[in-house]
Structure 1
Amino acid sequence: MEEVSASLRAALLEADDEYLTGLSSKGTLNRGRKDLQALSPSAQAQGEELLVTLGAETCTLRVPLGDSACTCPARGVCRHLVSAILWAKAQLGQEAAPSAAESPAVPSAAEGSSVPSAGSEAPAREAPAAKEEPPRVSLRDFTPLLDYPFEALRRAMGAKRLSRLAARLQEEGLPPMEEGSVVTVRLPWEPAVVRLLIPPEHSSCSCHSRELCPHKAEAILLYQIAKGRLEPGELTAQEEEVWDAQALRGVTDAVCGAVAAQLRTGVSRLPPSAEGSMERLAAMAHSARLPELERSLRAAASMLGRYFSRSAAYRDEALLSVLADVFDRAQRLHAASEGELAVLAGSFREEYLPCPPLRLTLLGEREFHAASGYEGRVYYFWETRENRFYTWTAARPTIYDTPRRRMTGAFQAAPWQLEGTMARLYGVSIELRDGRAARGRRLSSSGESRAAVTGSLDPWDALPPERQYTDFSRLLRDLRPHLPDGPEADRVALLLPRFCGAPSFDRVSQTFRLPLWDAKLRRLVLEVRYRKEEQAVVDALERFAEKAVRRRKQSAFLVLCSLDGDALRFYPIEVYAGWGRHGARPRPASLPAGVRLHAARPGPQGAPQRLRFPRRAGRGRSDGDARSLRGILGELSGALADLLQSGADSLPPESADRMEALARQCEDTGLHTGAALFTRLGELLQSGRHQLSPEPLPLAEAVSRAARYVTLCRERLALDAAEEDWNNETEQNETEEEE
């Protein structure tokens, strides 16, 4: 064979079966070796290249071998190129051997097959079996893989895939890798097999993509981490977005200016176009990648729309709370550093990250109807290993629905490739693998997730005794850290009441109430606000209460706790009849008509009559202080609502004196922060009367801080009042029993 260049000679001699498999595939390698037995190749050197003729096809071999070309129409490294590489390597091996002139051209023992010599028509003889050699150490330099730029890999993978990889590495560690002539990386979560070659552009993947696919990018990143070139923690650090500071400040300045102008003008003097202005600001926030600010602006626009349409659902306090949140968030974004921007900006769509294998059992479900045009059901699963709740939501749009097309939740198909409907998951244990969960432990119905039923499991056996609340005061202590805005999965609890009182219906607020008492006679009230969609829930609870006196069976309630204004609310998700009784199954609170529920266990004498009437809250020692605080907070909220309605420019002169008087009341009550805030507000109103064009931002900042302060005080007061009432009721009932 003619003389070839040194670089091509080295590449051909180094190309073993593993490398050729990485360039093409195992099948192409076997086909090329088989075809070579029936061919009589010839070669001609042309500079740095080698032309090999194989019958009707001509192959041009060059460095790197992946850039070689063939006259056949196949793309990439075809079987002709594989045959040409095998033949050329065998020829070079014969020239290097001392007995090359006396023996026919055959491939080396490492190739494991015979190759005919140039110009020979007879098939070559089999080479004698060689002794087994130790594993060949690769002489290839994989530095290009280690130096591959991270930005290119990040673009190929995408931000979501990169964050999922970081989560997998933290929980599962590195996947298996094999390093030889090529680096073989197996991705068990895809599944995919990537063979990394030099240069990296010639790497192959089981997805058959010739470009830098996400699998190849992921494999290169894993190799860099395995070699210590990159730390796993740097994946999330490198994921941070680059923010346009000028565009961001432009949006935040516009938002702060708009809110400040509305507070100086007053809602009563705003034109109807103010709603559209807030929508335009929301679009600007969307373009600047500020989703949380966008949501708040759209909420403000919706409330302004209710005001201009004279909707009964409009409330000054609600609009003021949203405007305060908008102004506060815009100010914090304006002053935030690059490290804080991602947290303050939020995300347009929450990412579902991989979670470890979960052992779940379904405990309850509730129906929801959102004003945004979606409805569905939220399912509550208990995880028996971690001892905490997970949720899964089945939602669908209702814009195209008609009354005939709507279906009940009983026909909801089970997720995670389970057979049957969700109703079959009650009373069983399921094992979920390759699951994904978002913040707040909200599970995804990803097609990659797999679940299997592992056996039967009663709910009272699934929950540990400490999570079956018979003491309502302990319930409040456990739920308090997650109120008011904690994840829904952390605000779910299972109650085992001692007594069940008589239900009542408030016609003014259209609210159904069912009181429950624990063993220490602490009262807790289940509340359902009447709507057409909640009719079945109310009917089921009424039937439940009818049996309270005649039945002696312990029942359980799965409830969702929330803070509504200055009151603690408990919504019934499920009612369990005969808790702990063998064979009992949970029955949803939204049962269809005709299905009967049992009641909670009555008292020793058939539930004392005094327990059947709700005890008036606030009979404790601090009742006067609580009423005083509620009154002051109501006055503070009313003063801010008047300012929102009339605007700072149209308030009467005595408004500044009113703010100062409220500040003195706050100081006398112990609300020192409130006193400072309303003193500042009074000073700004007083100084604004003597200026032609007062600066609007300081007033907007003072109003925003005062509104948020009042909201936080009301939330804290509601939690303290609930705990105080329960403690006072316990003391009073114990005193009555002693007497």
Structure 2
Amino acid sequence: MADFKSDFQRWIGLCNEEYLIKYANKGLYNRACKEIEKGVTVSYEFMDDHVRCALSDDSVCLLYGDIERFSCSCPSDKICKHVILAIVAYATQHQPAAGMGDAGDEPAVFKPDFGWLLQLHPSDFLQAFTAAQIEEVLFRLEYGEALEVAETSFLTVTLQLQQVEVSFDQEADLSRAMCSCKAKGNCIHKLECLLRYRLVHEIDDREALQADITDVSYDAEVAAEARALLAEVLGIGLAKLPETVCTRFELLAIAAHNGNLPALEKDLRGIKGELGLFFQRHVKFSQDVLLDRLARVYLGLAALEKSERPELKKQLLGSFKSKYHTVPHLTLYALGANPWETRSGYKGVTYYFFSLADKRIYTYTEARPVYYEGTSFTYATSYKSKAPWGGLVTMEELSHSQVSLTSAKTNREQRLSSSDETKLVVLPRENIEELDLGETLCRDLAERMGEGAGVLFEQATEHVFLLPTKSVLQVFYEAATQQLIITVEAHDGESIPLVIPYQGEFDKTIRYLENNKRLLELRDVYWLVQVRGDELYPISMLQGKSLTSLKLDL
């Protein structure tokens, strides 16, 4: 009993106004205090593992030294004013005397210990949270967040950008944590606050958690069969290859889908498409492209077979559908828009934005398949249509703006989703020269052109950056290659050709650029460029607050 009484008094020392209001509510706490003021008294009888509290209003409560363990003779099945009253009365009447040491000493102060939050193991998170919650929070950790930590009766972590706070008890139990979002069970805010708090104390759980939630199982027989087919095609050669091989690639692609081999499925269908062009004797067929793809996929399968690292296996396997996660806030600076069309029959417009916080380029794409009969997509209509995220502006206006997005959804390739949850606010646009562009600004062209060279197994990503230039030296149309070439001068004096391939749909734009002498008068312009092989393709020009998307604004 002596041990229980000591533990009980220590717990009572934590039960201040903040603590009781957090677990009950302010109204209940105030009513209990008023009852004490009216003269309600409590007598306490200590048992082996609890205290019997007899109130003068004939109610009887049992307290066990834990805010979540109690009972009361009243009908309430939740914490009631009688329980709160019994705790407050004991803290007021008994705790100072119980905390006294020798005569004249100050009352003992019981300070909560939150050290257990730093002693948790990643396996504890796997038990308390789902794999989807962990994946979501690991993504959020890549973004900055203003964190505020306060230690009182609780350790309260506030995510200031999200305006969410989570309070942890001194008891080593994650289920007792309380979040201001009021969601039932363990919400993602609890995990995010916990992992960010541990990061502040130099405990990084990200790698261990990522490894634990990564599924790298796949059908090895399908991978082996695909590797054999690739070797067969490379061995036979195109001249002796039967047209039925396209069917074999399609069937294997279906098997790859069922065998958790998404990257292989995509590659097999891509190879089938290239072979289809070959058998049609199509002008777009390229033997070099086909051989490069065959070799890359074959080597990728060989690497997958030998790999033992989960993160490398995940990279080699790819994913069926990119997952989008919520980012609390993004401030985006529009960089321009680019219309495009693929061999497989898709048309679309991609919009580029620079994030002022993490200094990366984000994209939003509107695209449609146009290979179905009766379907169409026009760039001009898309450009004039309303933007997602509230429909406050058109896509054209958005592509020239600076905006704030709250609850933005994006994936690991920084592609933005048109989620209805995302809210857009248009901000005053800054001068591009005044922005800290980070790695988005090209400072060494040779290094930028070499990025990604020799990388066999990573999924292809768009390579886009800002190129600062001193002037435009020459603009001419090269009939032999059907390309408009804009030669610009870098600040170090290097001449750099920017290439725009001819497309009938943009014939007027190309002629306008070719004959526009004002281009030669431009000074200190930033060009948003895309790397295509060993060439640079210009998307837009930026200077000050102004922006011109070459194919859509001219």
Query: How far apart, in 2, do the equivalents of 1:353 and 1:408 lie?
Result: 29
1:328 shift after superposition: 0.6
1:12 shift after superposition: 3.7
1:204 shift after superposition: 1.7
Cα deviation, 1:667-698, whole Å, max 9, x if unaligned, reads: xxxxxxxxxxxxxxxxxxxxxxxxxxxxxxxx
Query: How far apart, in 1, do the equivalents of 2:68 and 2:257 lie?
Result: 49
Cα deviation, 1:511-534, whole Å, max 9, x if unaligned, reads: 743244557996846333436xxx
Amino acid at match of 1:187: L
1:324 shift after superposition: 1.7
1:172 shift after superposition: 6.0
- Per the alignment, residue 332 of structure 1 pairs with 303
Structure 1 residue corresponding to 2:381, chosen from 405, 408, 416: 408
Q: Structure 1 pair 260/80, CA: closer, same or farther in 2 (3 Å)? A: farther
Give the number of aligned pairs. 521
Q: Structure 1 pair 256/405, CA: closer, same or farther in 2 (3 Å)? A: closer
Rg: which structure is higher? 1
1:448 shift after superposition: 6.9
1:189 aligns with 2:161: yes
- Per the alignment, residue 276 of structure 1 pairs with 250
Cα deviation, 1:180-203, whole Å, max 9, x if unaligned, reads: 332122222322112211252333
- Per the alignment, residue 456 of structure 2 pairs with none
Query: How far apart, in 2, do the equivalents of 1:357 and 1:392 lie?
Result: 13
- Per the alignment, residue 61 of structure 1 pairs with 63
Within a 5 Å distance, the mapping from 1:567-582 to structure 2 comes to 568-574=534-540
* TM-score, normalisation: structure 1: 0.56
1:423 shift after superposition: 3.8
Within a 5 Å distance, the mapping from 1:676-715 to structure 2 comes to none
Amino acid at match of 1:236: E
More strand by share: 2
Within a 5 Å distance, the mapping from 1:437-448 to structure 2 comes to none
1:530 aligns with 2:491: no
Cα deviation, 1:570-592, whole Å, max 9, x if unaligned, reads: 4442468xx89xx9x54433358
Amino acid at match of 2:211: E
Query: How far apart, in 1, do the equivalents of 2:278 and 2:58 lie?
Result: 82
Query: How far apart, in 2, do the equivalents of 1:177 and 1:468 lie?
Result: 36
Query: How far apart, in 2, do the equivalents of 1:463 and 1:185 lie?
Result: 30
1:427 shift after superposition: 6.8
Structure 2 residue corresponding to 1:500, chosen from 475, 482, 486: 475
More helix by share: 1
Q: Structure 1 pair 233/530, CA: closer, same or farther in 2 (3 Å)? A: same
1:332 shift after superposition: 0.8
Within a 5 Å distance, the mapping from 1:94-493 to structure 2 comes to 137-154=109-126, 155-156=129-130, 158-164=133-139, 166-168=141-143, 175-197=147-169, 198-200=171-173, 201-225=175-199, 228=201, 231-241=202-212, 247=218, 249-250=220-221, 252-263=223-234, 267-268=241-242, 270=244, 273-286=247-260, 291-303=262-274, 315-338=286-309, 340-346=312-318, 349=322, 361-370=333-342, 375-381=347-353, 390-397=361-368, 403=376, 408-413=381-386, 419-424=392-397, 453-455=427-429, 457=431, 477=446, 479-482=448-451, 487-490=462-465
Higher-RCO chain (CA-CA 8 Å, sequence separation at least 6): 1
Within a 5 Å distance, the mapping from 1:479-628 to structure 2 comes to 479-482=448-451, 487-490=462-465, 496-501=471-476, 503=477, 512-517=482-487, 524=497, 526-530=499-503, 535=505, 537-548=506-517, 553-554=521-522, 558=527, 560-563=529-532, 568-574=534-540, 585-591=546-552
Query: How far apart, in 1, do the equivalents of 2:339 and 2:513 lie?
Result: 19
Consecutive unaligned residues in structure 2, runs of 5 or more:
454-459
The 8 Å contact of residues 13 and 110 in structure 2, kept in 1 or not, is answered as no
Query: How far apart, in 2, do the equivalents of 1:552 and 1:165 lie?
Result: 45
1:274 shift after superposition: 0.6
Amino acid at match of 2:33: R
Q: Structure 1 pair 404/372, CA: closer, same or farther in 2 (3 Å)? A: closer
Cα deviation, 1:275-294, whole Å, max 9, x if unaligned, reads: 332223421452xxx54344
Q: Structure 1 pair 488/48, CA: closer, same or farther in 2 (3 Å)? A: same
Amino acid at match of 1:325: R
The 8 Å contact of residues 230 and 298 in structure 2, kept in 1 or not, is answered as yes
Amino acid at match of 2:507: V
1:271 shift after superposition: 5.2
Consecutive unaligned residues in structure 1, runs of 5 or more:
99-132, 598-739
The 8 Å contact of residues 355 and 437 in structure 1, kept in 2 or not, is answered as no
Cα deviation, 1:329-367, whole Å, max 9, x if unaligned, reads: 111111123264344444553777979986x64342112
Query: How far apart, in 1, do the equivalents of 2:273 and 2:25 lie?
Result: 59
Amino acid at match of 1:211: G
Cα deviation, 1:21-71, whole Å, max 9, x if unaligned, reads: 332344443344335556847668676343656969764433422122457
Amino acid at match of 2:551: S
The 8 Å contact of residues 483 and 562 in structure 1, kept in 2 or not, is answered as no
Question: What secondary structure sits across from 1:239 in the alignment?
Answer: helix
- Per the alignment, residue 33 of structure 2 pairs with 33
Query: How far apart, in 2, do the equivalents of 1:11 and 1:88 lie?
Result: 11
Q: Considering only aligned residues, what root-mean-square deviation do their CA atoms show, in Å? A: 5.2
Query: How far apart, in 2, do the equivalents of 1:557 and 1:225 lie?
Result: 38
User: Alignment identity in percent?
Assistant: 20
- Per the alignment, residue 20 of structure 1 pairs with 20
Q: Structure 1 pair 144/514, CA: closer, same or farther in 2 (3 Å)? A: closer
Query: How far apart, in 1, do the equivalents of 2:77 and 2:27 lie?
Result: 15
Query: How far apart, in 2, do the equivalents of 1:560 and 1:411 lie?
Result: 23
Amino acid at match of 1:19: Y
Amino acid at match of 1:81: V
